[in-house]
Amino acid sequence: MVYERKVNYYETDGMRVVHHSNYIRFLEEARIFYMDKMGLPYGKMEEEGIMIPVLGVNCEYKHSAKFEDILEIDVKIKEYTSVRITMQYTVTNKTTGLLCLTGETKHCFTDENMKPVSLKKVKPYMHEIFSKEI
């Protein structure tokens, strides 16, 4: 699934190049968008007591993006168990056609007390939705 966004000025440095830390935010935006589209808005999951903390982030920066460039972030589920999920991302600069970044984020599912849970056991309907995306 592709999430598209325009680079804002405040996301750039003095050379109008996107600061590397902002790509992590872009990945989060894409992940939230993806979950909304698959019918599991993050806010709804939180209301039902499911949290999805980040366990790790891995990014390989390829080409810079600049102020006002349009980015396309292709996001998909790389791996899913009922306890953990790994999301995979490809960020392409639609303006230039260049690949900006490849990466992944790793997460687990927890209750409100940050205790790991199995969606298959505690929220079977959520487990079914995630399982269909693989």
Give pLDDT, residue 83. 98
- Residue 93 belongs to domain spanning: 2-132
Tokens of 129: 């939705």
Give pLDDT, residue 108. 98
Predicted model pTM: 0.94
With a cut of 90, say whether residue 134 has pLDDT above it.
no
Could you confirm whether 13 is annotated as catalytic? yes
Instruction: Compute CA distances 59 → 26, 72, 102, whole Å.
Output: 12, 16, 6
pLDDT tens string 75-102? 999 999 999 999 999 999 999 999 999 9
CATH number reported for the structural domain that contains residue 62 in this entry: 3.10.129.10
Contact 11, 5 (CB under 8 A): no
Confidence of residue 126 (pLDDT cuts 50, 70, 90): very high
Please count the structural domains in the chain.
1
